[in-house]
Each structure stands twice: as structure tokens, then as C-alpha cells.
Chains A and B, each alone.
Chain A
Amino acid sequence: GGIITQTPKFLIGQEGQKLTLKCQQNFNHDTMYWYRQDSGKGLRLIYYSITENDLQKGDLSEGYDASREKKSSFSLTVTSAQKNEMAVFLCASSIRTGPYEQYFGPGTRLTVL
């Protein structure tokens, strides 16, 4: 077994601010993902990283940067937070090959004032 931790749990920022969310996993998984979930909606992919030193854009990558510092960690940066933006950002990880179901972290709830 393993666990995914996300920090912070709650993030409050100002419009235009650059904000960073962090994710750590101890599954020893190769691949990590960032999803955004808006209230009452499904998850949409922002970025993913198949392995260290790899970054792949998802459908929602505009306005975000990502960094895979090492195998166990994956960071997401909101480059310029938008006023009234409120969403939960979910980190996930999986093995690289095969069916590889994803395992999710508890999420970071972002509020922009």
C-alpha cells in the first residue's frame, strides 16, 4: 500500500498571485497527474508526467505550470490566479504500464479572493 499527500489542504490567494500546490506519493509509481474538479462536476486533466523529467499537457493546462522534481513528487503552479476561482485540485499516481488504475490524494481546495 501507499499514500498520496497534498499540501496545502486549503489555499487562499489573491487575484494575479502565483500559487503552488504540492503532491507526494510513496507508491513508487512512475506516473503522476493533476486534475481539477469544479463544484458538482467531473475531473479534468491539467498536466501529467509519465516519468521523471517528463511533462504532458492535459486539456486544461492553460494558466498552469507543472514540475516533476523527482519520482515521488509533482508540483502544480497556478501562474496567475483568477478572481472568483474556486476548485479542488486532485493529484493522482499510477504505474506506467498495463491497466493501471489511478490512486488519488485528498485534494487541495483553492479559493481566490
Chain B
Amino acid sequence: AQKVTQTQTSISVMEKTTVTMDCVYETQDSSYFLFWYKQTASGEIVFLIRQDSYKKENATVGHYSLNFQKPKSSIGLIITATQIEDSAVYFCAMREGQGGRALIFGTGTTVSVSP
């Protein structure tokens, strides 16, 4: 069965520092895709970054990067040089490789960035 687990409920950091949040997943598929989404205070959900299971390189987009540790079924999100507007709930999600599948979401990690 598929499962995505985010154990950190909330994290507080100071502006301009780095925040790291964890996510572990369970799947039987050899091919899968891992995503991170951000939900702002207004409720808007925005796609941030994706890691394909067959790629060894960690994905990077802007100040978001991933720490993909396949043997540990782990996909951490790293945000560098945090800004106040990075305060949000961050969701990890997974989709197995077959077509037409929906996302399985974790329960989210709330990040608060203080000046």
C-alpha cells in the first residue's frame, strides 16, 4: 500500500536561514514520482518541485532543493535563504508510475519564518 509520512508538525526558523523538512514514503512500485507542494495562508496550493525515482541527482528549483535518499525511502525538502513569504504548510506527495493515478499526500509541515 502507498503511504506518505511527514512526522514534523511544525518548524520555526529565522529569516535568511535554511529549513529542512522530512518525508518518508512507502510504495511497491519501482517507478514513482515525488512532489512537494506549498499551501499558503489563503489556502492556495502551489506545486514546488518534483523528484523522479529513476534519477539519482537531487532536483533543485530556485531556493528549493531535495534530498532524495532512495534506500531510505526518504525525500526531504530544503529551503535556503528563507523569506517571510515562505511561511506556509508544505505537503509531500507521491504518485506511482502507472498512468492515471492520483497523488497520495502527507499530512503537512507548517513552517513559520520570523524576521
Binding site for B on A (CB under 8 A): 31, 33, 35, 41-45, 48, 50, 56, 58, 88, 90, 96-97, 99-104, 106-107
> How many residues in B have their beta carbons less than 8 Å from beta carbons of A?
21
- Provide the residues of chain B in CB contact with A41, threshold 8 Å: 107-108
- Selecting from B68-76, B77-85, B97-105, the interface stretch reads B97-105
Q: Among A43, A88, A106, A107, point to the contact of B91 (Cβ < 8 A).
A: A43
| A99, B33: Cα distance in complex, Å | 6
| Majority secondary structure of chain B interface residues (helix, strand, loop or mixed) | strand
Binding site for A on B (CB under 8 A): 33, 35, 37, 43-47, 50, 52, 91, 95, 99-100, 102-108
Contact between B100 and A42, CB atoms less than 8 A apart: no
Contact between B43 and A33, CB atoms less than 8 A apart: no
> Least Cβ distance of B21 to chain A in Å?
14
Q: A48-B102, A96-B99, A101-B50 given as contacts; is B91 within 8 A of A42 (CB)?
A: yes
